[in-house]
Structure 1
């Protein structure tokens, strides 16, 4: 099994003043305890601008992405738009232990977290095959992927509950009578 460990490292005891100011920063390690250098550098960079809570959230999203990379045996330098698209699809198709899929907010947050990391990694020379503009298009299409994967058409179950046309028209007429046009209430 491929896994990624996230450990909060306290840099406040460092003898280097610049490093000491980092405070507590989540750092990532492979299952062999090798540091994931690009992800760790990214988190140290983010620690300068994010609150501790936001930094932990960023780390959670990044850990999911790094675990997916590890599971699929993809190295960071080999990431391209197709890889990122596959990650989004994996999030959309993921089923929790209770059988439910991830909510759109979760998929969107994880996609955005991975996207921010990849753009940083690309600009820092870690992802030579990733074209940031193309990745942006994939990130923007995440909602379409989510809708097509998570909300598939379902068979209609009996009995179907519906309103008779006459009842629906009477209801609409009643709403018109008490609408804001005639009454401020």
Structure 2
């Protein structure tokens, strides 16, 4: 993402933050815009969808995916393991427990980059640590993970690993999102147990 777009997103995020602050006096904006821009201009704030797919496949407990779309969009489909913190509700004190975990990588995503970048700007500005954005959002997830296919006669070992990672994440995404909400957590528990048994371990 070029610097001009990052500056625009930063300014929009700061503006939105300032509009919210009167309703939540317990938070104060800690980073100056220059400090935010410094962080935002680094590619280190992004994870690719392939990296996120790996986190999902490994059920990485050091990562928390945060879907910043509205509740209705989240219910239609979401990345397994994510929680829904709608952007409009980001400063609600109820989310403090999720946002204030400096040891956990919090990865924000929306449909594209804009809302997730604005959410990142707000939480980073408030002093929360270890925040990231899934680059491209669900639009990129669908393009890269859900529509991934192999064509040709040969595949390199690297391409094979990448394809298998995407295929496994796609399968989990499809299975989870086809279930009623009440069964999603039960499915994850059952899948975890099955994988442990396949590996020859025990619970």
Query: How does the TM-score come out when normalised to structure 2?
Result: 0.27
Quick one: higher RCO (CA 8 Å, sep 6+), 1 or 2? 2
Report the TM-score when normalising by structure 1: 0.29
Of structures 1 and 2, the larger Rg is shown by 1
